[in-house]
């Protein structure tokens, strides 16, 4: 590695650390995540095709990493009758503390919605359009910063938010897919199933 390469890597490392994410998770005291076995996604239905194509790599790495973590936690995919529903939000190019719209999921859904982003074609809950409001979830209440990732797990029967994990303060862009993957892994490092395994 030459001097310029080393210097570039060093500067990038400092930037990533100084703007590094802080992971915040919340869990429902009334729900035991060990009682759930399956999951599916509440998908993006209000997508912009051109933007989706531009962000395809980021979108793909987010879903792949969430899937990997959900499977490693012991859950299996079931798009017909999932125990848990996964709702993902991410923000880019937005100043801290501003209201944001979901990048990966458009929720709540408009009446009669049928279009779903192709990204979710193999993963979305078939009854998503009629799922209705989620207790404990309001995208407008979160405080985001550029690169923030927000993962919500919702009880498929009660429609209650049972677990939520967020990162903030990390710079994520299309050229830094490894950082995007790391953000998701940081969130799931606080997931109860992984916390229990680390204590064994």
Neighbours of 118 (CB within 10 A): 15
Spatial contact of 137 and 163, defined as CB atoms under 8 Å apart: no
CA distance 18 to 20: 5
What is the C-alpha separation between 105 and 88, in angstroms, rounded?
Answer: 6
Closest CA to 29 of 141, 161, 190, 165: 161
- Kindly report, residue by residue over 75-122, the tens digit of the pLDDT: 999 999 999 999 887 655 444 444 443 344 555 666 666 667 777 888
Per the structure, the complete domain to which residue 83 belongs is given by 26-199
In a domain, 21, yes or no: no
* CATH number of the domain bearing residue 192: 3.30.160
Q: Which residues, 6 or more positions from 181, have their beta carbon under 8 angstroms from its beta carbon?
A: 61, 65
Tell me the C-alpha distance between 151 and 166, whole Å. Answer: 6
Q: Global pTM?
A: 0.71
Which of 20-29, 30-39, 134-143, 168-177 reaches the highest mean pLDDT?
A: 30-39
Specify the number of domains making up the chain.
Answer: 1
Residue 140 lies in a domain: yes
Residue 197 pLDDT exceeds 90:
no
């Amino acid at each position: 590695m030459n001097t310029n390469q080393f210097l570039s890597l060093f500067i990038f490392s400092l930037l990533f650390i100084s703007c590094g994410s802080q992971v915040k998770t919340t869990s429902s005291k009334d729900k035991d995540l060990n009682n759930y076995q399956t999951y599916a996604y509440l998908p993006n239905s209000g997508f912009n095709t051109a933007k989706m194509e531009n962000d395809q790599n980021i979108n793909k790495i987010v879903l792949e990493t969430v899937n990997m973590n959900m499977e490693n936690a012991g859950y299996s995919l079931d798009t017909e009758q999932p125990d848990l529903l996964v709702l993902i939000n991410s923000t880019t190019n937005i100043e801290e503390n501003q209201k944001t719209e979901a990048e990966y999921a458009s929720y709540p859904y408009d009446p009669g919605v049928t279009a779903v982003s192709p990204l979710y074609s193999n993963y979305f809950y078939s009854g998503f359009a009629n799922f209705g409001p989620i207790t404990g979830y309001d995208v407008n209440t979160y405080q985001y910063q550029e690169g923030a990732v927000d993962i919500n797990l919702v009880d498929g029967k009660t429609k209650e938010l049972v677990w939520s994990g967020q990162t903030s303060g990390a710079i994520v862009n299309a050229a830094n897919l490894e950082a995007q993957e790391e953000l998701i892994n940081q969130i799931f490092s606080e997931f109860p199933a992984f916390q229990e395994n680390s204590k064994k």
